[in-house]
Structure 1
């Protein structure tokens, strides 16, 4: 037995103790096209550096009458974002029935309205691609589900059944719809588990045949140039009635198994877990550097937006000081906005109930919508705020809309650019797209408010005209190019939070080779703020320059005044 077979059998024994684990291990290797004697990757190896910046986009966020949307996106990346990003998170690009791609009908086919596998492979020649492995559920219009109803494989044993009188009160729900869906089958009525919606039927990973199906799917993605895998909604993967059915030990075990196989076949591959849950639970998905390479910093969006709306960085600073430095070979994925809303569960225990209600009320004033979930007691509770980032930062909680929207917006992007981890920018944040209320009305989905589809010609005109879109886009590109030149912004570079008061948010980064020190200081309020350089304890023998303005700061006792939402990146080396 090879070391790989031995490790694989160990994971399978914990997941499928009733199976012949050696035979199942051989099936996994064969399905994945992996030899049993494959070499193990080097542990604790960083597969990223300061040049890594991610773009988040749907395949059709840009549309043109003359070409497939994936071609339009590829051209935008090549011509408009050259030197700004390294990776594209290409949101689900499969045939789907709902949820803008996250209700997958066929995992093996590119939606023909978007393009083809050839175009995805072509994009992978320019940037790394992160693809969604929608692993918890599939569409009710999938072949698997049609086969389930007919009682034939593949599909007959692929879904989670439960009796309607089963006590499922402990199950954690991210939605308000009933958990079980009644389905008529050839064998009579059955009730299927639906964590998210009745069009999204949960897959039964207690059946090893489902695991083997997904190994084949992962291999297909690898063959077509995808190297980063986002495990969508993975925290809900394993179901055991009588438990919360979230973050179960078997879920972690399955992630370790997938990591083992993927990194043996493709040592440059990366796994990201999408676990929109409270902060301490989220951190467990690093495992012992043997589960996710990256985890989403889900607490960052509500805390950072709250900071800029209130003018107080207290909660953001306190949270940052509790976050453990990621081991080498792991790091955080930072984001403020994405295709989903601003999650509120990751702010639980970090913001008080009153502060959460104030945040919700402020963003509702700015056009936001509120999505709810059902708690174990049956109570409806806010789950996420649906709003574009541009509109979310149009003012403050106390004063409402104000003239500082542009400065506040860029300040938010600059904070994320400098934090430990890899920053990920939603395409609609790069171009400051506002709330798409018309799309909400047309789709009936609150999340559509931040899923605008740009006609390519219209966006091109917006980015060259005298518009806020052009101002933001130019500022964002300059910011990202500058960020990618700083070794102190390596995702695993040292970070220390500084104590500079409530209205100034500051932290120190030092490159892994210790050659660059960089102090990032931000005025997160709508009033000018001053501080003395002596507070930063600058090394007297070094020359210091603000990378943003190019201004030298060699008077260690000088007082600096930052205008509302102004910031500086004070470095001891020029880029």
Structure 2
């Protein structure tokens, strides 16, 4: 409890009155959020936790660099900094983008020229040697992967990024650590304290009870959710891989450890934490051990700690779950607006690819129209592709509502994007086929999935034009939906699948590396050449980004809403803003389409202006023609 005596004790830890005031004002504001959440999860340890955390927060605040404290003040004055239309994200693996952290410095002009304000460098904290799930098997949270640089290099890079107005996003793996992490090593040696950091069982009795309701994440190469460890003489909970040990978040010591890690990394300049595998933190018998209520209380408590020590920091939830579950990661009920600041809009990504394959937006309309509204202070992270596979998260209820079979449509999409469906334009690979459930996810770069790889192989100029048009359309939806658009490295240059992953032993079994190529800087040098696919893609995307920055209607505090129209090939989204309405029109077909002009009657516009091209669109005729794969952002003149 924050008693007057305890509060005064904390004040005495400061030499500077201004620092004391800043810290204590934030403590007063966020202490109730912290203790309410901790009381839910750790009621028996609450008193000790309060004192431990308060002491460590004061220490971390003292260690925070002056320029980061200044950024904290700025972010408190501009709480919507992630919601502005000027915010643009870029996602890359450090080694594949530039070799090392120092190498990233050499390419900051490239990022600034594109308009990037948010850079997510994929897992770069020290992983276990050898196979490490793309860096998500962390061995040391306070060290950088040796071939990428040092923690000092990371801090230097964050300073250079801040000078350009770019925020660094880093992965924080919460659910598990590598078997080689010091906590796991101590647990394996028999240390009682650290054995309680994990879920260890002497026999299969309890694991078998859990397995009755647990899904398999990687059925091909990591079947089951428990692994026998000879050193620990126990069955260990390993959701993702045998070498990734799930942490026991019911132990308050684990919570304190991650508070320390967050504060340490925030003081090195990390501004956004991607909370990896957050849905899996809490284990409950008889459930799938995902999306449990305690997950949101833990997130609220972690966020409160950061709001007190480093309010410039934001959280992004990596929760690829159903919409009715996803919305809780941005806050519902008592956690409303108190958990993560961003969450991935996985459904939008899936529905874009679904509509491109079917040339039909009926399912997309249904899914978006029934998506829960987020808290106004939070933001979607929107994207066309990412580092991961695409799981066809089509809800059975949505499919049934538009006359489809959910299972049948998911199978169609897997066949289409793996190149097996007759007439498909896509080149992708099946990832993790599960015969028991029929789940067949897909790997592939955006350009290869959109048809560019096949078109170039066939020398088909028309198909090349259409594939680039699909990419432009997909990016326009991502940029126009509202939120933080995330561009995955190489998509701006229409880079293709890279099949050389098969020659790398630690990558060969994981075909997601097909869409994790090394940056082609020769290709980047040709980005102004409109005679090349990369030039046409980069120029179009850069133009879309400029148009986006000019439109206040794309502030993420505004929701995109579906406007139904009778043409199943055309999606219409509207955004209502005090400066005026924005109407977005997207043709998901390679054929021209017509819209009944009465669709626009409620807006009272005889003429609209497309804010992408600047062209005026007359709306007085009975029908309005929409070009193949057109994407229009319309406002009043």
Question: Equivalent of 2:182, from 143, 152, 168?
Answer: 143
Contact 1:134–1:231 (8 Å) recurs in 2? yes
Is residue 90 of structure 2 the alignment partner of residue 55 of structure 1? yes
Is residue 572 of structure 2 the alignment partner of residue 546 of structure 1? no
Give SS of 1:537's match: helix
Report how far residue 105 of structure 1 moved.
1.2
Aligned match of 1:13: 39
The separation in 2 between residues aligned to 1:568 and 1:245, in whole angstroms, is: 43
Mapping of 1:16-31 within 5 angstroms? 16-19=42-45, 21-31=46-56
Is residue 278 of structure 2 the alignment partner of residue 260 of structure 1? no
The separation in 2 between residues aligned to 1:196 and 1:46, in whole angstroms, is: 35
Give SS of 1:33's match: helix
Report how far residue 559 of structure 1 moved.
4.1
Contact 2:527–2:539 (8 Å) recurs in 1? no
Give SS of 1:131's match: strand
Q: 1:479 to 1:307 in 2, by over 3 A?
A: same
Aligned match of 1:175: 218
The separation in 2 between residues aligned to 1:142 and 1:180, in whole angstroms, is: 18
Aligned match of 2:295: 251
Mapping of 1:395-474 within 5 angstroms? 402-403=463-464, 404-442=466-504, 443-444=507-508, 445-454=510-519, 456-457=521-522, 459-460=524-525, 466-474=531-539
Aligned match of 2:255: 211
Report how far residue 439 of structure 1 moved.
0.9
Contact 1:175–1:373 (8 Å) recurs in 2? no
The separation in 2 between residues aligned to 1:422 and 1:455, in whole angstroms, is: 25
Is residue 575 of structure 2 the alignment partner of residue 509 of structure 1? yes
Question: Equivalent of 1:522, from 561, 568, 586?
Answer: 586
Report how far residue 136 of structure 1 moved.
0.6
Aligned match of 2:236: 192
Give SS of 1:24's match: helix
Q: 1:349 to 1:226 in 2, by over 3 A?
A: farther
Report how far residue 43 of structure 1 moved.
12
Moved more, 320-329 or 3-12: 3-12
Report how far residue 53 of structure 1 moved.
1.6
Higher relative CO (Cα under 8 Å, sequence separation at least 6) belongs to 1
Contact 1:538–1:556 (8 Å) recurs in 2? no
Contact 2:526–2:535 (8 Å) recurs in 1? no
- Report the structure, 1 or 2, having the larger helix content: 2
Mapping of 1:220-299 within 5 angstroms? 220-287=264-331, 288-299=336-347
Give SS of 2:589's match: coil
Report how far residue 348 of structure 1 moved.
5.1
Aligned match of 1:123: 161
The separation in 2 between residues aligned to 1:54 and 1:165, in whole angstroms, is: 46
Q: 1:74 to 1:475 in 2, by over 3 A?
A: farther
Give SS of 1:299's match: helix
Aligned match of 1:570: 634
Aligned match of 2:24: none
The separation in 1 between residues aligned to 2:213 and 2:80, in whole angstroms, is: 39
Report how far residue 84 of structure 1 moved.
2.0
